[in-house]
Amino acid sequence: MPSASLSAYRKKRDFSKTREPKGRPRKSGRAHAFVVQKHRASHLHYDFRLEVGGVLKSWALPKGPTLDPKERRLAVQTEDHPYEYKNFEGTIPPGNYGAGEVIVWDRGTFRAADGEEEVAKGLRKGALSIVLHGKKLRGSYSLVRLKRPRQWLLIKKNDEYASSRDVTRNDRSVKSGRRLPDRKPARSA
């Protein structure tokens, strides 16, 4: 079944050339997934994704997530990704959209602070409160849309999981234990 939500995702990719999933929307019912993928493309960033309506709503975090309520992390909304993308780890070949390396930096489940039916509404309104149950990220966060298009802030709320510790120093994949490989050295001496 064609999915309007995933059409931008599919248009950017040639699935004969990349091992990323083509995907289809998933029927809901179970606990909703979240994933954070660390992605070294043209720039290093983290992709924060929440399962909403059978797809992964997605934001790119240039500086990654934080445990510190005093920090607000820019989160630029990107195209919806298929649910299966949450397990994707590996290489996106050169010449393809997002070419580079991806690891599953964190994953788990989340719930909306105000109930499941509030998630889609919160995304439309531009203010969403969620509670994450991941390996590295836990507790309450909010996503708040700025006035500029597609730009949000991811903010840690003050709770027992709040900390000034830099959580991105824990840089291994929760799926494989791998780290992103070091960037290949430039060819110039």
CB 133 within 8 A of CB 161: no
Select 5 or 58, whichever has its Cβ closest to Mn ion: 58
Based on the shown chain and the rule CB under 5 A, indicate whether residue 89 belongs to the binding site for Mn ion: no
CB 80 within 8 A of CB 47: no
Give min distance, CB of 47 to Mn ion, in A: 4
Q: DSSP assignment of 144-170, as one string?
A: EE-SSTTEEEEEE-SSTT--SS-GGG-
Based on the shown chain and the rule CB under 5 A, indicate whether residue 80 belongs to the binding site for Mn ion: no
Cα 57 to Cα 122: distance, rounded to the nearest angstrom: 12
What is the per-residue binding string for Mn ion in 47-76, x denoting contact by CB under 5 A? x-----------------------------
Give min distance, CB of 100 to Mn ion, in A: 8
Pair of tokens at residue 161: 């999981």
Give min distance, CB of 152 to Mn ion, in A: 15
Select 88 or 140, whichever has its Cβ closest to Mn ion: 88
CB 87 within 8 A of CB 36: no
Give min distance, CB of 162 to Mn ion, in A: 26
Q: Give the residues lining the site for Mn ion (CB under 5 A).
A: 39, 47
